[in-house]
Amino acid sequence: MKILQGIALSVALGLVAGGAIAKDKAAKQYAVVNEEVGVPVFAYDITDRPYTVVGEVKAGVRKATVFSKEASQAKIYRELWERAEKLGADAVVNAKYGDSHVSAFSWGKTNATGTAVKFTAPAEVKSNPGS
C-alpha cells in the first residue's frame, strides 16, 4: 500500500513540475515577436532597430506521409527560430520559403532560409552643452 502511495505522490509531483516547466516556456519573452506566428521571425527586414548579423539559418520541414497537410507558415517559422535561437539570435529577418517538393527520402519537404540577427544597444543620446 505504501508503494502505491509513493508512486501516486511521485506522479503528482511530476505533473506539478511538468506544469511549471510548461508555464516557464509559455512565459518566455522575446525582444520582438511576429504576432501572426508567435516567434520573432519576419519575412521583411527590421529597419527601426540596429542589429548585427549572427548568421544564416536554414530549416527543412517534412511531411509525415503523402496524405499529410503542407507545412504552415507558423511551423516553418518556428523551425527557423529554433535554429536561430541556438545561435543566440534575437530575431530572424528576411525569412523565405518555397513550395514543398517530393524526394526519394520525403513525401514532401519545404525548405526555408533567413538571417539571424542580434539587436545592438541603442546609441546613447549626447546632450549638446550649448543648449
**Tell me, what's the pLDDT at 13?**
41
**How far is residue 114 CA from its own chain's centroid?**
12
In 5-70, the DSSP E strands lie at 51-62
Burial 42-62 (b: 16+ CB within 10 A, else e): beeebeeeebeebeebebebe
Task: Give 26-67 pLDDT, tens digit per residue.
Answer: 556 777 888 888 899 999 999 888 999 999 999 988 877 767
Task: Give 91-131 pLDDT, tens digit per residue.
Answer: 999 999 987 767 666 677 888 999 999 999 653 444 455 44
CA distances for 84 relative to 12, 69, 93, 94, 130, angstroms? 35, 25, 10, 13, 45
Q: Within a 10 A sphere around the Cβ of 106, how many other Cβ atoms?
A: 15
